[in-house]
Amino acid sequence: MDNLIEKITTLNLGKVEENVLLSKYTTYKVGGKARAIVYPKNISSLTRLIKLLKSEEVTYKVIGNGSNLLFSEKKYDGIIIKLSEFDEIKFLNGNKIRVGAGYPLMKLSSLAAKKGLTGLEFASGIPGSVGGSVFMNAGAYKSDMGYIVKEVKVLTPDLKVITLENKEMNFHYRSSFLQKHPNFICLEVVIKLEKGNKQAIEEVIKERRKRRMESQPLEYPSAGSVFRNPTGMFAGEMIENLGLKGKKIGGAMVSKKHANFIINYKKATSNDIKKLIDLVHDEVLEKYKVDLKIEQEFVNWE
């Protein structure tokens, strides 16, 4: 692995950080060490990096802001690829935005509001990157990325750059083409918004921020909603009805504010969080016969 990292550095494929604590790169603030994180500078660097990793048969994982990932405490003996450098943004024809996959979604929502563009207000409290949000089809307030994304530039498994139109992305509730084809990597997105009243847009964002502060445990590390809402039901309500608010395992706890949040309230480990997720899932399954879909992705648990 030392030789590989030296090669990545020599080829100038991006900044390299070695032996990194993954707790710094996930919103749960947990996880073991990664052998290295690489920050490719552009599409060419990313393509060359992945080609090298494949030729060396080295495990790798592309991440955004780590807002839906739960890494185990084990060492990730591979390469983490972080697309933070993919952060270019350009406004097109007044109401379209071309934006890199590494751009923070909340920042984009705020910028759109300042430009008087409406359609991204739902994203003002979603802590993911643009690429991760497209992957998850992140949403809130009865809207999601599928409503505003026009096209997505991706890197295919055979390292070709292609563009997928909205209909090809197969957006559904918290789902997309990319989720079902994880070897495709989101590089850049074009979104289309509408002209709106700047003051009205900012008022909506302000009101929703207030509501989030009151109803969500934003003062603790978490990954947002743990479970997807089943059709016609609310996961949080089901969990609350089972009396699981405040349930603890180690340093992890089901939030007392919102039962669909699990928080790292006291130096939790990945194992604490995963055990609590599994416990809540199993109790809901036993009581309601509903197999809740977990939003978070478990990485390096094999």
- For 302, the 3-state DSSP assignment is coil
The count of residues in the chain is 302
Phi-psi region of 192 (alpha: psi -120 to 50; beta: other; left: phi over 0): beta
Closest by CA position to 72, among listed 17, 135, 26? 26
- For 149, the 3-state DSSP assignment is strand
CA angle 124/170/85 to nearest 5° reads 50
Catalytic residue among 121, 151, 188, 295: 295
- Across-strand partners of 302? none
In whole angstroms, give the CA distance from residue 250 to residue 228.
24
In whole angstroms, give the CA distance from residue 300 to residue 10.
28
Answer whether 139's CB lies under 8 Å from 174's CB: yes
Q: Is 225 a catalytic residue?
A: yes
Give start and end residues of each alpha helix (H) in the chain. 2-10, 43-55, 105-114, 130-136, 177-180, 198-215, 235-241, 270-288
CA angle 105/111/114 to nearest 5° reads 145
Q: Is 174 a catalytic residue?
A: yes
Answer whether 110's CB lies under 8 Å from 205's CB: yes
In whole angstroms, give the CA distance from residue 209 to residue 200.
14
Catalytic residue among 45, 225, 255, 270: 225
- For 214, the 3-state DSSP assignment is helix
In whole angstroms, give the CA distance from residue 117 to residue 94.
9
Catalytic residue among 174, 208, 212, 228: 174
> How many other β-carbons are positioned within 10 Å of the β-carbon of residue 131?
28
Please give the positions annotated as active site: 174, 225, 295
